[in-house]
Amino acid sequence: MKLPRLLLPLFRALGLAAFAAASAGAAKVAPPNIVYILADDMGRGDISAYNPHSAWPTPHIDSLARGGMQFADAHSSSAVCTPSRYSILTGRYAWRSRLKERVAFGYSAPIIEPGRLTVASLLKTHGYTTAMVGKWHLGFDWARSRPSNAPAQLDASDEEPSQRAPENNPAFSRWVDYTKPFRQGPVDDGFDSFFGISASLDMFPYVWLRNDRVVAPPTHEIAGSKLPAMWRAGPIADDFAHIDVLPRITTEAVDFLQRQDGRRPFFLYFALTAPHTPIIPAQDFAGRTHTTPYGDFCVQVDQAVGEVLRVLKERHLEENTLVIFAADNGCSPAANLPQLRTFHHDPQMGLRGAKADIYEGGHRIPFIVRWPGRVAANSHNDALVCQIDFMATCAELLDTPLPANAAEDSVSLLPILTGKSAQVRETLVNHSVNGSFALRQGPWKLCLCPDSGGWSDPKPGKAPPGSPPFQLFNLDQDSAETTNLYAEHPEIVRRLGELLKQQILRGRTTPGPVEQNTGGDDWPQLAWMKQFQ
């Protein structure tokens, strides 16, 4: 049957309209590539885009900031490494897991629960090629052996090795079968590939890992080293040298990007090992800043970022690649903060505390997002944001709902990134190395401890006699947290304490059904909840 000649223009118009609508829809949902670069123990003030008085320039990170959005009130979910990394990948506060305080070690059991949705597994199910390069620090299920020559204190027939050899004890290496694959690492948590190390660079075992295997087993023990090149004594492989780690993982990240042909979107999680201890800049960087080894190491970190940005540009990938640069917590005291001050350099930019602390210096971090054409270039944002929001942001990018039992504390930043909203997060829970809590809401911050909760003064248990049990700060008026307003505003203390208690007991801070915290709701760091009945 032929169409009447008069109707042909109408059908052609309808066809073109349908094609245009389909094309527009396809353009709308076209997923971007994602590169997440995570520095280790780097302060905001270590980046010249944040700190015009920095003692060294960071031109590559600065260029990222000029091309995207720079956040001033961004936070890690914890003031130390492991819990921050758990939150980035799961969208859940790490204190809801079995890890209530401190960090994992190289032989630690897995922190991420089996079957839990991660950013990598979410993206993988939507067609992404997913890769991780660098520092894992979330534990593994190591293959176990029981050597016949194990010393008596390790020779317990029915006990786990960890009962006799703590996971941070070099002797634990004798219980590991390095010839067999380890489980519940990156490739079991959604990554197609992994190359890197098990924990921090100052934690044994000092071996390279690829996918689910040890590249070469340790053959001997290396002696410990003191600051600034500090690492713990422990087992090391013949092909492993601490000073080579940052260059090697940078090369691996670049190689992954060079293999991408544009047919599938990709996600690269590039977890740097620096400027965390051991502070050992490569020979080409040693002395470059004329300050300290830490300054030279920060410049080497900047160069690693530059290598990633370079290959994205050369491969014509940068226009559809969302790049995030952040740190896992604040600058560490291992950087020798007093020495840095002699060069008029302040990694914390006037904030109180440092890595491990409940104070802002422990968890306020550099956070930069570049996405050409979607995120305004050279823009600055004061919204309260957290790394934990990465999961929900990715879900909204994919226009896919998250399961009720996933990303319980994650809020999408997409409305902020695209200029549709000024604020998406109402509250934020802070957490210190000893498991102390704080709640942020607007300008107010309530610390549920009388001390730093970390390594700065007053150290845990060392608050001056007669100190209030909690600390309340107005960050708009007192960003350095110098004046405790606990006594002046009991109503705010009560409101924030009750709100935090509710958020903990609900197992989530986002809408949805009540979830369970691992291990229940009774651990020592929650003793303060009794005051908010």
Residues 292-329 have pLDDT tens digits of: 999 999 999 999 999 999 999 999 999 999 999 999 99
Averaged pLDDT of the chain: 92
Same domain, 134 and 164: no
Q: Is residue 328 in some structural domain?
A: yes
Q: Which helix (H) or strand (E) holds 194?
A: strand 193-197
Same domain, 455 and 312: no
Residue 50 CB partners (closer than 8 Å, separation 6+): 44, 70, 349, 366
Q: How far apart (Å, rounded) are the C-alpha atoms in residues 266 and 256?
A: 10
DSSP state at residue 141 = B
> Nearest-CA neighbor of 501 among 532, 468, 469?
532
pLDDT at 265 over 90: yes
Question: What is the domain count for the chain?
Answer: 3
Same domain, 439 and 511: yes
pLDDT band per the 50, 70, 90 thresholds, residue 147: low
Residue 165: predicted pLDDT: 57
pLDDT band per the 50, 70, 90 thresholds, residue 2: very low
Q: Is residue 2 in some structural domain?
A: no
Q: How far apart (Å, rounded) are the C-alpha atoms in residues 139 and 207?
A: 14
Structure confidence by residue, pLDDT tens digits, 387-410 = 999 999 999 999 999 999 999 999
- Greater confidence (16 vs 511) lies with 511
Residue 145: predicted pLDDT: 84
Write down which residue in 388, 422, 456 finishes a domain. Answer: 422
Residue 322 tokens read as 């969302």
> Nearest-CA neighbor of 367 among 385, 379, 351?
385
Could you tell me if 402 and 360 are in contact, meaning their C-beta atoms sit under 8 angstroms apart? no
pTM above 0.75, yes or no: yes
Could you tell me if 509 and 409 are in contact, meaning their C-beta atoms sit under 8 angstroms apart? yes
Three-class DSSP category at 116: coil
Residue 192 CB partners (closer than 8 Å, separation 6+): 124, 129, 130, 131
Q: Is residue 111 in some structural domain?
A: yes
Same domain, 164 and 196: no
Same domain, 47 and 168: no
Q: Is residue 26 in some structural domain?
A: no
pLDDT at 19 over 90: no
Between CA 162 and CA 173, with CA 167 as vertex, the angle to 5 degrees is 90
Structure confidence by residue, pLDDT tens digits, 325-368 = 999 999 999 999 999 999 999 999 999 999 999 999 999 999 99
Percentage of the residues of the chain whose pLDDT score is greater than 90: 87
Residues 489-504 as b/e (b if ≥16 CB within 10 A, e otherwise) read eeebbebbbebbbebb
List the beta bridge partners of residue 16.
Answer: none
Residue 146: predicted pLDDT: 65
Between CA 347 and CA 360, with CA 330 as vertex, the angle to 5 degrees is 95
Residue 484: predicted pLDDT: 98
Same domain, 467 and 361: no
Tell me the average pLDDT across 25-37.
75
Tell me the average pLDDT across 211-220.
97
CATH number, domain of 193, equals: 3.40.720.10
Q: How far apart (Å, rounded) are the C-alpha atoms in residues 237 and 217?
A: 6
Q: Which helix (H) or strand (E) holds 235?
A: strand 234-237
- Beta pairing, strands 193-197 & 129-135: parallel
User: What is the Cα Rg of the chain in Å?
Assistant: 24
Tell me the average pLDDT across 153-177.
64
Write down which residue in 161, 177, 193 finishes a domain. Answer: 177
Same domain, 239 and 303: yes
Structure confidence by residue, pLDDT tens digits, 44-79 = 999 999 999 999 999 999 999 999 999 999 999 999
Q: How far apart (Å, rounded) are the C-alpha atoms in residues 65 and 364?
A: 17
Same domain, 243 and 318: yes
Percentage of the residues of the chain whose pLDDT score is greater than 70: 91
Residue 75 CB partners (closer than 8 Å, separation 6+): 363, 364, 365, 384, 385, 386, 387, 428, 430, 440
Q: Is residue 35 in some structural domain?
A: yes
Residue 444 tokens read as 């107010």
Could you tell me if 35 and 326 are in contact, meaning their C-beta atoms sit under 8 angstroms apart? no
Structure confidence by residue, pLDDT tens digits, 101-116 = 999 999 999 999 999 9
Residue 86 tokens read as 């758990």
Could you tell me if 207 and 241 are in contact, meaning their C-beta atoms sit under 8 angstroms apart? no
Q: How far apart (Å, rounded) are the C-alpha atoms in residues 148 and 91?
A: 43
Same domain, 408 and 514: no
Residue 159: predicted pLDDT: 45
Residue 155: predicted pLDDT: 38
CATH number, domain of 460, equals: 3.30.1120.10
Helix axes 245-258, 293-314, angle to 10 degrees: 10
Q: Is residue 128 in some structural domain?
A: yes
Residue 323 tokens read as 């790049």
Three-class DSSP category at 456: coil
List the beta bridge partners of residue 327.
Answer: 39
- Please list the alpha-helical segments (H only) found in 398-451: 414-417
Report how far Cα 483 is from the mean position of its chain's Cα atoms.
Answer: 30
Same domain, 81 and 151: no
Q: How far apart (Å, rounded) are the C-alpha atoms in residues 84 and 362?
A: 12
Residue 22: predicted pLDDT: 36
- Greater confidence (23 vs 80) lies with 80
What does 516-528 look like in DSSP terms, one character per residue?
Answer: PPTTTT--GGGGG
* φ/ψ of residue 368, rounded to 5: -130, 135
Same domain, 307 and 409: yes
Same domain, 210 and 224: yes
Residue 11: predicted pLDDT: 32
- How many CB atoms lie under 10 A from the CB of residue 524? 9
Structure confidence by residue, pLDDT tens digits, 414-444 = 999 999 999 999 999 999 999 999 999 999 9
Tallying the residues shown for the chain, one arrives at 533
Give how far Cα 498 sits from Cα of 324, 493, 529, Å: 34, 8, 8
Q: Is residue 3 in some structural domain?
A: no
Write down which residue in 131, 152, 177 finishes a domain. Answer: 177
Q: Is residue 23 in some structural domain?
A: no
Domain residues for the domain of 416 are: 31-140+182-422
- Beta pairing, strands 367-370 & 321-327: antiparallel
Structure confidence by residue, pLDDT tens digits, 195-206 = 999 999 999 999
